[in-house]
Amino acid sequence: MLFRWFRDRRRAAVRARPFPPAWQAILRRRFAHWHRLSEADRRELLGHIAVFLAEKRFEGCNGLTVTDEMRVLVAAQACLLLLHRDTDYFPGCPAVLLYPAAFARLVRTTGPGGVVHEGITAMAGESWNGLYAPASGGPVVLAWTDVQRGAQQPDDGRNVVLHEFAHQLDGESGGMDGTPRLPTRTAYAEWARVMTAEYRQLLADIRAANPTLIDRYGAQNPSEFFAVLTEQFFEQSANLKARHPGLYQQLADFYRQDPANWHPADRLDDDAHDDTAHRGLAERGSLVACVPLAAHGPPLRPLPPAFARARPAWA
């Protein structure tokens, strides 16, 4: 309790400091969602960015030198998920690892008959959680080219930072299972009812080869479903609201935001980086992939009993 009091006081002091003008200039130039937010939301976001950058360690990988622009753009996109909410600033994630571009990962899958397949997959991001997989160190791992693209293209429904940090929020409920921490038993029940129906419908549409608004990568499992929906909630909000109103409402209640009513999105100048490394990676499944963290063992921190009893499994 005392620790929390000191922590909250320290964070309030960080939020109260003047935000560096050079960082604000980065947001105006490079963060398209900045121009969609109200003045009040921008002020709140600046405070969250300041705390995020004060608490998270950044490391460049494969020779990348981490710049202020990189730090600010990661923080801004991650903290978009925190607006209006009571937050502990992604407690399972002490560090952000940045690669220059898509990074390789050895992926093992088990096929029919228990046959194990191994292959190299190009990744745009991964989300580990130090609460459940302490040996991992709990980093979010990101490809800088994809961080940039996500920051500059606010309407394509793809944003690796929103995706990976949605996984972090998912984990705050005690497991990476597509259900983040919700305030009441009723909210858990309603979440389970709506999400189960929508997830099953997505699976059925894919089986029937029907077109879907929801990205098919979300059909991998409930955790990816929530992460993909988070991207589309912020980036394709009007369409999602029109075609999946119940689903949109669940996300609007959780995020306490209504992006469908934000200012329209404009793409920013996309000439700031060379994305030739990605041109051969059109498939979502290979470009954005996540390690399903549930596979790394049971949660170390048990759920509060009320949540554990109330939280239904879904899908």
- Binding footprint of Zn ion on the chain (CB under 5 A): 224, 227, 290
Round to whole Å and give the CA distance between 26 and 74: 12
Least distance from C-beta 93 to Zn ion, angstroms? Answer: 14
Do residues 16 and 63 lie in contact, with contact meaning Cβ atoms separated by under 8 Å?
no
Do residues 290 and 163 lie in contact, with contact meaning Cβ atoms separated by under 8 Å?
yes
* Closer residue to Zn ion in complex, CB, 131/166: 166
Q: Maximum Cα–Cα distance for the chain, whole Å?
A: 60
Least distance from C-beta 19 to Zn ion, angstroms? Answer: 30
Indicate the burial class of 24 (C-beta count within 10 angstroms; 0-12, 13-18, 19 or more): middle
Do residues 168 and 81 lie in contact, with contact meaning Cβ atoms separated by under 8 Å?
no
Least distance from C-beta 288 to Zn ion, angstroms? Answer: 7
Least distance from C-beta 204 to Zn ion, angstroms? Answer: 22
The one-letter amino acid at 70: M
The one-letter amino acid at 201: Q
The one-letter amino acid at 301: R
* Closer residue to Zn ion in complex, CB, 126/155: 126
Q: Which residues of 88-116 are buried (b: 16+ CB within 10 A; e: fewer)?
A: ebbbbbeebbbbbbbbeeeeeeeeeeeee
Least distance from C-beta 281 to Zn ion, angstroms? Answer: 16
Give first-to-last CA distance, the chain, whole Å.
37
* Closer residue to Zn ion in complex, CB, 285/304: 285
* Closer residue to Zn ion in complex, CB, 34/132: 132
Q: Is 5 helix (H, G, I), strand (E, B) or coil?
A: helix
Round to whole Å and give the CA distance between 272 and 213: 29
Least distance from C-beta 165 to Zn ion, angstroms? Answer: 10
Least distance from C-beta 127 to Zn ion, angstroms? Answer: 7
